[in-house]
């Protein structure tokens, strides 16, 4: 009988072939490459993570051509094993020459590896950093000077650290060599770390910040005749015991031609950004340059991710990607501790990766960064170490690789609970467990490294699986290099308790994109380190700096690699060497180029004078908003963000008939209010009025000038707010001030003592007098409850009555109102009311001769549910009707609002304790999970404690498994499926939503000004916002510095970079007002708890080009 069965072996082969992925990278096995290095860590009672907190930080890796044969070799540092040097023999075959080369350092705890040509002989030298050991002699860093190669091609090194003064015994993570003072020789920065004694939070933390230590703090070493001298104390470098330096990158962040330094710090100390003062000193500017940084900062890299010629910064942290892991790392949200750190002078820090996009320099010459890691999609990669930004697919845009993993997760909440329980049990029984018993309970973090493809718009696509990075590891140091000279960048990782990974990049074969590899040749390393190369091809320009140290404890010296995509022509290429000499080449061809220092010429000056932006800061108004500080989380623990920081807003009217608008600027509680009158000098001066001083106790929300009593002059309505007050408190009463020839007095007004947000004025019933819509933000202490809004009708003499029930009963259902606008949308002579609210759809109320009806479904806005903050109207497309710009929360958040399932909020008094508990639910896969941690939710709903006694059980539970369905059904349910700011186009009786460009989604938008900036007859858009008073785990959302978008027609708007617009407004911007003042056009920006800023528009008709 004929056997038709396919042989089992053949089936296996067929199945395996089908399963094998055709990926961009291929992980090569050690048997194939010959790289057998394994950074094996051997735990025992004396050597473990409890004795040395950085026990599992791992080693570094360096890639460079040490024997000058044209092939890149690889060097690994081992913590408890000997360092290894592998010589590249071609075709991904490597030979272990560690012993023969003299670089097999065995003693000591080796950390970072750096590359330098210390003696400028053309042979690359190796500097190894050491830490860990208590014996100072075992911590002395090593300098391996390359003597050249033997007859069989093996490079031979001699250890000479003491000879150069580089045998430092600090706890060193990494070293960087560069010429910081431009005196022509190579200097050194030592990135050091402190010890566990200083890692925790104590009341002495402010004192620790002033405490120096010779072996814990960072050091700047100046090269004096080939001897390195410690000049830290005179250089401006911070060297305190709180410095836990884990990452460093040296680059020119302000484009002045001088090397600056970025340092990422672990634990409480914030990151440092040092700008080179060009006089041998540095200035630390992290608070001025950034809004916030990573909390447990680890590796860091710098590169021009958006190809605008300015260096961006990536820092890594520990925030996981998936719900289960997040719940196992998240504890209580300690806002009081966070505030204590701020009061002690520390910068704002949040536990996640940060991607800082460089906006250029402000008026003080400081580079200003927008942090957009969440929008970019790279914020959550778990316990991460080395971040590398390079063009892995050769398309002309730099991608991001991130190594991660950790052997013992001592931050795991279940382990911390176990430790606490163990201490209690030990106190009761007297039996103390051994360290190894405790350590055994620490779970490992094993996962694949991450890789992200640049989508060419500041967002990145996760390509971990598609590009071949499925293998789980505990990877620390990592570096890229073209190991096989095929024109694409391969990757190497140094792993703990696992052989090193070597990834072959197949981009050249698969994608066929063009590339250019630039090699630098110079008589001195000092002129190479920091050299900048910019090329201009058929598409966008690209800029890169040469600096070997990258990522975490690693270094690369393999030229400068440019991917070119399909560009076949390079119009020009320019190199600026570190000493300022420049060489420019035209019409570059080929895929390899050598730039020689001897061909460069002296540049007159590396300092490019700052050009005036479109807007220029001027002093025209002296007023500072002084917020009354309060903590809304004490009122309602699970608020996503505080609700008490909504001001100041501004109202304007020409009160004295001089042709210039006068102003009323809202004040905080306890702050004297008043009207600012314009004068002939172009200033606004406070006009004292007793009635405003008497009302200092109120918190101003919104304000509008209008003629309430029909006597021909402008009166003033001011709404009041206060989340910490009780509903009905007299300090929530809206106030009407009547103008009697410049003298102001308080008038009778309906008893509307509600926590208001906005007042919108219009003649609703067309009887010749102005009526009022009063929007209610939220019921104090009971978010998200709200009474919606009220319609107050004018009797023609300034007396208002609440006609909501009779004329607009549906206003009670509009939720937490944030802003509103009256416009006659259907041109019947009666204005419609458009309302934006928090966690609600945009509402359009049709006006039927004074009676308001919700027509949101007809107008197409009923499905636009978001957390809307503000609305402004203008005819943006020139078709004769009013369109709207609506400010929303933006896309730079943890939760994925782009999902059709959106974000849901359930609010209820779940345990009948007399408090509303708002529970935000996020979607992962097909399930919903609470955003709150176990500690947070169980604190507010104590009945859940028995149900979830462990963090593990809570981490796996969906929302419906945590809260009974009947309680969810009884809860107030709110939904948001659109968080982008955008335009509502008024089109044929409906509203069509158009999202604004990606830059408008960097941060929440609270302020909008629509004005013709470039005088082309079309309204342009100015946006301001930010939200700082959020939960600690959410962190500040502050990437907006007031943005300008130029109207290009057909509702297309183009972002104007901050360095062009000249707008660098930090803080929570709450109002923007553009108005003419004499011959000038002025922009006013109000900022919460800060001075009001004024800008003039440079020139009457500036040519606005991004």
Q: DSSP of 82-114, one letter per residue?
A: --EEEEEEETTEEEE-HHHHT----SSEEEEEE
Check pLDDT > 70 for residue 345. yes
Residue 881: both structure tokens together: 């009707």
Model confidence at 1038, pLDDT cuts 50, 70, 90, reads very high
Range name among 336-345, 488-497, 976-985 with the lowest pLDDT average: 336-345
Would you say the C-alpha torsion 1081, 1085, 1086, 1089 has a positive or negative sign? Answer: negative
Domains located in the chain, CATH noted: 32-317+352-409+444-508 (2.130.10.10), 615-893+979-1097 (2.130.10.10)
- Rounded distance between C-alpha atoms, residue 728 and residue 719, angstroms: 14
Q: Give the distance from CA 410 to its chain's centroid.
A: 26
Tell me: pLDDT of 610 over 80: no
Contact 547, 178 (CB under 8 A): yes
> What is the pLDDT confidence band of residue 563, given thresholds at 50, 70 and 90?
very high
Average pLDDT over residues 151-176: 98
Instruction: Determine how many CB atoms are found less than 10 A away from the CB of residue 165.
Output: 17
Mean pLDDT lowest among 134-148, 367-381, 451-465, 599-613: 599-613
C-alpha distance across the termini of the chain, in Å: 79
How far is it, in rounded angstroms, from Cα 467 to Cα 1096? 50
If you count DSSP H runs as helices and E runs as strands, how many of each does the chain have, helices first?
22, 74
Look-up: residue for tokens 């979607």?
A: 923
Element (H, E) at 1079: none
| Strand 843-848 with 592-596, pairing | unpaired
Would the pLDDT of 423 be above 80?
no
Q: Give SS3 for 33.
A: helix
Q: What is the dihedral of CA 750, 752, 758, 764, to 10 degrees?
A: -40
Give residue 853's pLDDT: 98
Rounded Cα distance, 883 and 880, in Å:
9
pLDDT surpassing 50 at residue 1077 = yes
CB 66 within 8 A of CB 73: yes
Give the number of other CB atoms < 10 A from CB of residue 437.
10
Q: What is the pairing mode between strands 615-618 and 554-557?
A: unpaired
**Rounded to whole angstroms, how far apart are CA atoms 1044 and 1054?**
8
- Kindly state the tokens that stand for 708: 């309430």
Instruction: List CB contacts of 5: < 8 A, sequence separation 6 or more.
Output: none
pLDDT at 582: 98
Average pLDDT of the chain is 94
> Residue 522: which residues within 8 A CB-CB, separation 6 or more?
528, 531, 577, 596, 597
Residue 824 near residue 832 (C-beta atoms within 8 A): yes
Asked if the model's pLDDT at residue 609 lies above 50, the reply is no
Edge-to-edge strands, sheet with 662-665: 650-653, 662-665, 675-678, 684-687
* Confidence check: pLDDT of 481 > 60: yes
DSSP string, 988-1008: TTEEEEEEPPGGGGSS-EEEE
For residue 312, list its beta bridge partners.
303
CA torsion sign, 722 to 724 to 726 to 731?
negative
* Cα separations in angstroms, 528 against 542, 545, 576, 595, 663: 18, 9, 9, 11, 56
20 confidence band (pLDDT: 50, 70, 90): low
**The pLDDT value given to residue 303:** 98
Please write the tens of the pLDDT for every residue from 833-844: 999 999 999 999
Core vs surface per residue 583-594: b (16+ CB within 10 A) or e: beeeebeeeebe
C-alpha dihedral (541, 546, 547, 551), degrees to nearest 10: 40
In the structure encoding, which two tokens stand for residue 733, read together?
Answer: 């009463």
Q: What percent of the chain has pLDDT over 90?
A: 89
Identify the pLDDT of residue 899: 64
Residue 155 · residue 149 · CB < 8 Å: yes
pTM of the model: 0.96
| pLDDT one-digit tens code per residue, 716-764 | 999 999 999 998 999 999 999 999 999 999 999 999 899 999 999 999 9
């Amino acid at each position: 009988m004929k056997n038709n069965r396919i042989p089992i072996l053949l089936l296996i082969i067929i199945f395996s072939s089908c399963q094998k992925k055709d990926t961009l990278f291929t992980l090569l096995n050690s048997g194939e490459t010959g790289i057998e290095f394994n950074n094996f860590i051997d735990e025992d009672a004396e050597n473990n993570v409890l004795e040395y907190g950085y026990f599992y930080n791992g080693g570094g890796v360096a890639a460079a051509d040490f024997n000058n044969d044209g092939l890149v070799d690889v060097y690994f540092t081992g913590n408890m094993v000997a360092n290894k040097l592998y010589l590249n023999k071609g075709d991904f075959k490597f030979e272990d020459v560690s012993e023969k080369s003299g670089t097999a350092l065995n003693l000591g705890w080796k950390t970072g590896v750096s590359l330098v040509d210390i003696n400028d002989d053309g042979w690359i030298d190796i500097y190894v950093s050491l830490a860990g050991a208590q014996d100072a002699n075992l911590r002395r860093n090593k300098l391996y000077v390359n003597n050249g190669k033997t007859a069989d091609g093996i490079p031979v090194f001699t250890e000479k650290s003491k000879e150069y003064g580089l045998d430092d015994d600090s706890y060193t993570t990494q070293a960087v060599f560069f010429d910081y003072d431009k005196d022509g020789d190579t200097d050194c920065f030592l990135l050091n770390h402190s010890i566990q004694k200083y890692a925790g939070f104590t009341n002495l933390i402010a004192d620790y910040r002033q405490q120096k230590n010779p072996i814990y703090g960072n050091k700047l070493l100046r090269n004096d005749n080939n001897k390195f001298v410690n000049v830290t104390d005179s250089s401006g470098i911070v060297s305190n015991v709180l410095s836990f330096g884990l990452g460093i990158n040296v680059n020119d962040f302000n484009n002045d031609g001088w090397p600056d330094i970025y340092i990422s710090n672990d634990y409480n100390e914030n990151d440092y950004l040092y700008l080179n003062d060009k006089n041998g000193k540095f200035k630390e500017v992290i608070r001025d340059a950034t809004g916030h940084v990573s909390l447990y900062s680890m590796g860091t890299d710098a590169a021009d991710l958006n190809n605008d010629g300015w260096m961006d910064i990536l820092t890594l942290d520990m925030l996981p990607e998936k719900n289960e892991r997040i719940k196992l790392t998240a504890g209580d949200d300690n806002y009081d501790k966070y505030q204590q750190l701020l009061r002690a002078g520390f910068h704002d820090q949040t536990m996640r990766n940060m991607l800082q996009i460089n906006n250029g320099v402000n008026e003080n010459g400081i580079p200003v960064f927008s942090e957009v890691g969440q929008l970019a999609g790279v914020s959550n990669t778990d316990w991460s170490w080395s971040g590398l930004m390079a063009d892995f697919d050769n398309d002309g845009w730099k991608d991001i690789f991130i190594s991660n993993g950790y052997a013992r997760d001592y931050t795991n909440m279940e382990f911390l609970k176990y430790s606490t329980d163990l201490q209690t049990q030990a106190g009761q029984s007297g039996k103390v467990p051994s360290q190894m018993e405790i350590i055994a309970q620490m779970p490992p973090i094993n996962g694949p490294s991450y890789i992200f493809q640049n989508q060419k718009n500041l967002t990145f696509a996760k390509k971990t699986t598609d590009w071949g990075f499925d293998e789980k590891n505990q990877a620390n140091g990592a570096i890229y290099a073209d190991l096989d000279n095929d024109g694409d960048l391969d990757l190497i990782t140094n792993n703990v308790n696992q052989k090193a990974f070597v990834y072959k990049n197949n981009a050249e074969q698969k994608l066929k994109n063009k590339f250019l590899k630039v090699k630098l040749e110079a008589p001195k390393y000092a002129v190479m380190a920091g050299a900048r190369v910019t090329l201009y091809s058929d598409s966008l320009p690209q800029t890169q700096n040469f600096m070997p140290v990258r990522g975490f404890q690693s270094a690369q010296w393999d030229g400068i690699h440019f991917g070119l995509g399909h560009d076949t022509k390079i119009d020009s290429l320019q190199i600026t060497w570190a000493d300022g000499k420049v060489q420019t080449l035209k019409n570059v061809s080929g895929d390899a180029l050598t730039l020689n220092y001897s061909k460069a010429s002296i540049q007159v000056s590396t300092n490019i004078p700052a050009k005036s932006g479109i807007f220029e800061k001027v002093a025209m108004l002296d007023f500072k908003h002084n917020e009354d500080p309060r903590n809304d989380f004490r009122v309602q623990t699970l608020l996503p963000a505080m609700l008490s920081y909504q001001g100041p807003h501004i109202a304007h009217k020409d009160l004295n008939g001089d042709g210039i608008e006068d102003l009323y600027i809202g004040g905080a509680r306890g702050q004297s209010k008043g009207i600012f009158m314009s004068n002939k000098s172009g200033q606004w001066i406070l006009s004292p009025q007793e009635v405003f001083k008497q009302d200092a106790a109120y918190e101003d929300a919104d304000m509008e000038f209008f003629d309430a009593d029909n006597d021909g002059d402008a009166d003033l309505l001011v709404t009041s707010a206060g989340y910490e007050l009780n509903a009905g408190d007299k300090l929530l009463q809206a106030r009407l001030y009547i103008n009697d020839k410049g003298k102001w007095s308080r008038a009778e007004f309906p008893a509307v003592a509600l926590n208001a947000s906005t007042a919108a004025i219009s003649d609703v019933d067309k009887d010749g007098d102005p009526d009022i819509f009063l929007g209610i933000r939220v019921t104090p202490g009971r978010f998200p409850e709200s009474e919606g809004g009220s319609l107050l009708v004018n009797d023609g003499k300034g007396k208002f009555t609440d006609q909501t029930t009779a004329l607009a009963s549906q206003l009670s259902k509009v939720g937490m109102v944030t802003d509103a606008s009256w416009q006659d949308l259907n041109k019947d002579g009666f204005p419609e009311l458009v309302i934006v609210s928090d966690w609600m759809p945009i509402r359009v109320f049709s006006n039927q001769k004074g009676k308001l009806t919700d027509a949101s479904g007809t107008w197409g806005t009923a499905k636009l549910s978001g957390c809307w903050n503000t609305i402004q109207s203008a005819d943006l497309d020139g078709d004769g009707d009013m369109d709207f710009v609506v400010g929303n929360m933006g896309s730079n958040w943890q939760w994925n609002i782009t999902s059709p399932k959106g974000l849901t909020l359930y609010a209820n008094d779940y345990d009948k304790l007399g408090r509303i508990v708002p529970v935000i639910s996020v979607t992962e896969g097909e399930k919903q999970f609470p955003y709150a941690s176990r500690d947070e939710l169980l604190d507010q709903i104590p009945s859940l404690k028995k149900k979830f006694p462990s963090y593990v059980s809570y981490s796996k539970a969906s929302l419906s498994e945590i809260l009974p369905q009947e309680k969810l059904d009884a809860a107030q349910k709110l939904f948001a499926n659109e968080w982008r700011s955008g335009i509502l186009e008024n089109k044929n009786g409906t509203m069509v939503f158009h999202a604004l460009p990606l830059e408008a989604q960097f941060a929440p938008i609270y302020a909008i000004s629509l004005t013709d900036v470039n005088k082309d007859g079309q309204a342009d858009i100015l946006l301001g916002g930010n939200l700082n008073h959020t939960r600690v785990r959410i962190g500040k959302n502050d990437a907006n510095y007031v943005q300008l978008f130029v109207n290009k027609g057909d509702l297309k708007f183009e972002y104007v970079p901050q360095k062009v617009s000249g707008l660098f407004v930090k803080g929570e911007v709450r109002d923007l007002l553009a108005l003419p003042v004499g011959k000038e056009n002025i922009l006013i920006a109000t900022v919460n708890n800060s001075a009001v800023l004024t800008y003039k528009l440079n020139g009457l008709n500036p040519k606005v080009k991004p």
